[in-house]
Amino acid sequence: MVQSSLAKRYRSEKGFRAFGILSIAVGLVALSCLFVGIIGSGIGGFTQTKVRLELDLSVELLGITDTHNAEQIKDADYQPVVREALALRFPQVEGRSDKRLLNAIMSVGAGYEVQALMRKHPEWLGTKQTIWLTADDDVDVYYKSRKGKVLGDRLKEQQIGWIEELIAKGDMERKFNVAFFMSGDSAEPELAGILGTLLGSIFTLSITLSLSFPIGVAAAIYLEEYAPRNKFTDFIEVNINNLAAVPSVIFGLLGLAIFINLFHLPRSIPLVGGLVLTLITLPTIIISSRVAIKSVPPSIREAALGIGASKMQTILHHVLPLALPGMLTGAIIGMAHALGETAPLLMIGMVAFVMDIPDSIHSAATVLPVQIFLWSDSPERAFVERTSAAIMVLLMFLICMNTLAVVLRKRLERRW
Amino acid sequence: MKKVIAALACVSGFALTAPMAFADRDNISAVGSSTVYPFAKVVSERFARKGNFKAPKIEPTGTGGGFKEFCKGVGVTFPDIANASRRIKQSETDACRAAGVTEIVEIKIGYDGIVLANSKKTPQLDLSVKDVYLALAKQVPNPKGGDKLVPNTAKTWKDVNAALPATPISVMGPPPTSGTRDAFVELVMESGCSSFAFLKALKDSNPEAYKAACHVLREDGVYIEAGENDNLIVRKLAENPNTFGIFGYSYLEQNADQIQGSKINGKAPTFENIADGSYSVSRPLYIYVKKAHIGVIPGIKEFITEFTSEAAWGDTGYLAEKGLTPMPKKERASVAKSAAELETIAQFRAP
């Protein structure tokens, strides 16, 4: 009897296990597809095509009349210097329209790069300098794809000729994309960076953490340690669990109604973003903190109370330190969740073009996922790889935060 | 009890002082159309790089959403500029006036063509607005004749017009919330619809029925609403050669190696054809400036000057490079002049 059913039970056991392995495999395949896709298209975003030009930083070209006037050197128009350098490099180019095409090889940011360098090295005035300057985004797309299927039909035949000539002479190369990490958003892909949005994320998250962690922990302690068990506290508990499942966009609407329409706070600032994200992460933190407090054995509380500690002393000296790792893990996971949030920020105006790098919690800013959303919607082809590069940065932050949560739990958590 | 009072005092104090604490906004704030967004973005950047003012913040909220924010009132917490892919409506000027926004400067910045594009792997189509109407309207005049509307059953382009290929009709486009969709319906569907005399007559006799006949797009899967992300549509077109997409000209221009615009009424959507008006599916773009904010928020006047400079919106300006179709030179001069004088729009002059 047992023998006859044994084979069948083994079989179903095997099937059950195979099903589990299959599920994990599906998950892993999906994840690796995502990673391969994003890394494949994003890795190029960390490099930028540059062109080496010999610049003639002469007084006449810059229209500087007083060589000792630092203001004049600072505010001079450096665009003509770049144009002149290109004209010297390709003396055969004539005619207005051809010259326009030639100038289009360089980014509009090239002039500003020269300006920034001149502010650092005013002694260069009147000399000749050979400098690597940023190329236009269309050139960037062409250069990166020219080995395979060439993208970027936007370049004219003459332009491709000039580019090939620059490449042949070694005057065009891919360099590490410093601008990507050191500047704010830009309408030109070759000048766009994530520093502004990264700072926006940091400001927003610091508000969120500094509000939601103390509030969440205090709520959890009260609910676990002090609150009587009655219908009212049950009602609160049900509602906290519900709030954790409410779509985040609704919190955005709430934030719009309260912080902007009622309190008249300005739109698009990290302060409001942080407040809204606080509302979103609060339920997560309360729930995980309660679990952490609950897992502290009652014997510890009883022992503390038994030797005469007050309730507050028991909680602060014994329960809280033991529950802290669990609470921190919850907070970090809540923060990681908040870092990836876009929808509620749409409502409070944080989805915007902000070029300046934010310097406080009340200057206009966006956050990393919003920047990704905005770039993915931009028509310029070169934004595709910048979008993926920004996703990689975001993923890196998420991986770091989640690893920290795991490490904290592993190292600090005590098993009873 | 004392603590409760103290807490209440804190909250109300915060509510009262918070707006004042942030009363020092020193960057321009613009909201509105996502079609104008890329253009406003470049102007903002060039304007800021000159180094005298902070970069204006541009929010892509959609034209309607932009006016809603813009018309909420006068003060630093409200935007200074509304970007729009259509003219401001009467209802919106009324809302503005009710909130104390009584003086608005309207500046037309150029044109945006709307294209019906497909992958370069398939041939370019030459469509008339009537073809597009017959292909995409939910209800069409009975093909067998007569003044009756019947549900649209056209499966291929050949069903619509015998001169077209027998490929299935499949068009991806924006949802009804989009300004691009509004403009497409108005410029293509309505004019295609009006080519039928009995429908044209309906416009005056029964505007409701006319709207139902002309404005409603098919819901049987032929017209696919693809969300506001035009890049997504472009990518889908490259994958599905038989699908057409509806979006702004700047996306066609940026992806000209993969997709091509269909000719409409015999004219291809090229820069020249949109500029001289022979390509009929194009609409004007505007920015609206709150006059009360000029002088309060630094740089608004200079920002207008930058926007209306030849270097920006001229024939070879940087906006043209981003896909904006410039106005004729004469019109540019007159708009720039009235913008410089901060002429407010007519509805606001008379009380």
pLDDT tens across A22-35, in order? 999 999 999 999 99
**β-bridge mates for residue B115, sequence order:** B247
Mean pLDDT of chain A: 90
C-beta of residue B279 within 8 angstroms of C-beta of residue B113: yes
B5 in Cβ contact with A345 (< 8 Å) = no
What are the residue ranges spanned by the domains of chain B? 23-111+283-349, 113-282
Alpha-carbon distance of B150 to B220, in angstroms, equals 14
A236: pLDDT confidence band, cut at 50, 70 and 90? very high
For residue A265, pLDDT beyond 60? yes
User: How does strand B149-151 pair with strand B282-290?
Assistant: unpaired
Q: Which two tokens stand for residue A77?
A: 């128009």
Cα-trace Rg, chain B: 23
* pLDDT of the residue at B163: 87
Question: In this structure, which amino acid lies at residue B13?
Answer: G
- pTM, two decimals, is 0.82
Using only the alpha carbons of chain A, give its radius of gyration: 29
User: What percent of the residues of chain B are helix, what percent strand, and what percent coil, each to the nearest 5?
Assistant: 45, 20, 35
Q: Residue A351 and residue A375: Cα distance in Å, rounded?
A: 11
Q: How far is CA B293 from CA B7, B18, B25, B95, in A?
A: 36, 20, 11, 18
Q: Which of residues 207-266 of B touch A (CB under 8 A)?
A: 228-231, 250-251, 253-257
Q: Is the pLDDT reported for residue A73 higher than 80?
A: no
pLDDT on residue A106 = 92
Q: In sequence order, which residues have a C-beta less than 8 Å from that of residue B142 and are 6 or more positions away?
A: B148, B149, B150
Determine the structural domain holding residue A127 and report its residue range.
44-176
Q: Which of residues 54 through 73 in chain B touch A, CB cutoff 8 A? A: 54-55, 57-61, 69
CB-based contacts of A377, cutoff 8 Å, min separation 6 = B34, B228, B229, B230, B231
Encode B52-67: b = buried (16+ Cβ within 10 Å), e = exposed: ebbbbbbbbbbbbbbb
| Contact residues, chain A, for B13 at CB < 8 Å | none
Question: A201 and chain B: CB distance < 8 Å anywhere?
Answer: no
Distance, in Å, from the CA atom of B252 to the CA atom of B270, rounded to the nearest integer, reads 10
Tell whether A398 is covered by a domain: yes
Query: In this structure, which amino acid lies at residue B240?
Result: N
List b or e across B217-247, with b for residues whose CB sees 16 or more CB atoms inside 10 angstroms. Answer: bbeeebbeebebebbbbbeebbebebbbbbb
Tell me the ipTM for this assembly: 0.84
B241: helix, coil or strand?
Answer: coil
Is the predicted pLDDT of residue B262 greater than 80, yes or no? yes
CA nearest to A189 within chain B: B42
**What fold does the segment set B113-282 form as a domain?**
D-Maltodextrin-Binding Protein; domain 2 (3.40.190)
> Judged by CB atoms within 8 Å, which residues 78-137 of B form the interface with A?
79
Asked if the Cβ–Cβ distance from B27 to A108 is below 8 Å, we say no
Size of interface A-B (CB pairs under 8 A): 104
A255 lies in the same domain as A393: yes
- At position A10, the amino acid (one-letter code) is Y
The answer to whether A269 faces chain B, any CB pair under 8 Å, is yes
Q: Is A218 on the interface with B (CB under 8 A)?
A: no
Q: Which of A108, A141, A176 is the last residue of a domain?
A: A176
Do B58 and A266 make contact, defined as CB atoms within 8 angstroms?
Answer: no
Q: Average pLDDT, stretch A50-79?
A: 81
Cβ-nearest to A153 among B49, B257, B322: B257
Taking the C-alpha atoms of residue A132 and residue A175, their distance in angstroms, rounded to an integer, is: 9
pLDDT score for A79: 85
Domain boundary residue among A117, A149, A176? Answer: A176
pLDDT, tens digit (0-9, with 9 covering 90-100), for A103-136 = 889 998 898 888 888 888 888 888 888 999 999 9
pLDDT, tens digit (0-9, with 9 covering 90-100), for B292-332: 999 899 999 999 999 999 889 988 888 887 878 888 888 89
For chain A, the residue count is 416
> Does A94 score more than 80 pLDDT?
yes
- E strand or H helix at B118, and its extent? strand B104-119
Average pLDDT over every residue of A176-198:
92
In Å, how far is A343's CA from the nearest CA of chain B?
13
What pLDDT, on a 0 to 100 scale, did the predictor assign at position B19? 47
Q: Which of A187, A185, A330 is nearest to A268 (CA)?
A: A185
Is residue A403 predicted with pLDDT exceeding 80?
yes
User: Is B17 within 8 Å of chain A by CB?
Assistant: no
Is the pLDDT at B144 greater than 80? The verdict is no
Residue B224 structure tokens: 């696919």
> Which token pair is A329?
């893990």
- Average pLDDT on A228-236 reads 92
Q: Which residue in B34, B57, B69 is closest to A364 by CB distance? A: B57
**pLDDT-above-70 percentage for chain A:** 98
Quick check: A112 and B49 CB within 8 A?
yes
Would you place residue B348 in the very low, low, confident or very high pLDDT band (cuts 50, 70, 90)?
Answer: low
Strand B139-141 relative to strand B282-290: parallel, antiparallel, unpaired? unpaired
Distances (CA, A) of A102 to A84, A98, A380: 11, 6, 20
What lies within 8 Å, CB to CB, of A365 at 6+ separation is A196, A197, A199, A200, A203, A204, A268, A269, A270, A273, A350, A354, A358
Q: What is the mean pLDDT of chain B?
A: 84
Q: Which of B57, B228, B254 sits opposite A381 (nearest CB)?
A: B254
Answer for the pair B57, A268: CB distance below 8 angstroms, yes or no.
yes
Question: Domain holding A352: CATH number?
Answer: 1.10.3720.10
- Torsion sign across C-alpha atoms A389, A394, A397, A401: negative
HSE of A324, CA atoms in CB hemisphere, 13 A: 10
Q: Give the pLDDT mean for A302-306.
A: 94
The answer on A261 and A229 residing in a single domain is yes
Same fold, B23-111+283-349 and B113-282: yes
Q: What is the CATH number assigned to the segment(s) B23-111+283-349?
A: 3.40.190.10
Q: Which residue from B55, B251, B256 is facing A355, i.e. has the nearest CB?
A: B55
Q: How far apart are CA A399 and CA A403, in angstroms?
A: 6
3-state secondary structure chain A: CHHHHHHHHHHHHHHHHHHHHHHHHHHHHHHHHHHHHHHHHHHHHHEEEEEEEEEECCHHHHCCCCCCCHHHHHHCCCHHHHHHHHHHHCCCCCCHHHHHHHHCCECCHHHHHHHHHHHHCHHHCCCEEEEEEEECHHHHHHHHHCCCCCCCCCCCHHHHHHHHHHHHCCCEEEEECHHHHHCCCCCCHHHCCCHHHHHHHHHHHHHHHHHHHHHHHHHHHHHHHHCCCCHHHHHHHHHHHHHHHCCHHHHHHHHHHHHHHHCCCCCCCHHHHHHHHHHHHHHHHHHHHHHHHHCCCHHHHHHHHHCCCCHHHHHHHHHHHHHHHHHHHHHHHHHHHHHCCCHHHHHCCCCCECCCCCCCCCCCCCCHHHHHHHHHCCCCCCHHHHHHHHHHHHHHHHHHHHHHHHHHHHHHCCCC
B324-344 core/surface letters (b: 16 or more CB in 10 A; e: else):
bbbbeeeebeebbebbeeebb
Amino acid, single-letter form, for residue A359: D
For residue range A364-381, what is the model confidence (pLDDT) as tens digits? 999 999 999 999 888 888
As a whole number of angstroms, the distance between CA A41 and CA A388 comes to 6
* CB-based burial label for A116 (10 Å; 0-12, 13-18, 19+): exposed
User: In sequence order, which residues have a C-beta less than 8 Å from that of residue A36 and are 6 or more positions away?
Assistant: none
> How much of chain B, in percent, has pLDDT values that exceed 90?
24
Domain count, chain A: 2
Contact A19, A74 (CB under 8 A): no
Residues A257 and A153 in one domain: no
Q: Which residues contact B162 (CB under 8 A, 6 or more apart)?
A: none
* Alpha-carbon torsion (B306, B312, B318, B319), positive or negative: positive
Return the minimum-mean-pLDDT range out of A213-222, A251-260, B245-254. Answer: B245-254
Question: Does an H or E element contain B98, and which?
Answer: helix B90-98
Region A310-326: what's the mean pLDDT?
92
Looking at residues B336-351, what average pLDDT do you find?
Answer: 75
pLDDT of residue B350: 44
Tell me whether strands B149-151 and B139-141 are parallel, antiparallel or unpaired.
antiparallel
Closest partner residue to B257 among A151, A264, A374, by Cβ?
A151
Clarify whether residues A113 and A235 are in a common domain. no
- Has residue A8 been placed in a domain? no
Better-scored residue on pLDDT, B349 or B97? B97
| Beta-carbon separation of B14 and A263 below 8 A | yes
Tokens of A22: 């299959």
pLDDT-derived band at A273, boundaries 50, 70, 90: very high
With an 8 Å Cβ cutoff, are B25 and A100 in contact? no
Query: Looking at the structure, do residues A116 and A199 belong to the same domain, yes or no?
Result: no
Q: Among the three residues A109, A142, A176, which one is the final residue of a domain in this structure?
A: A176
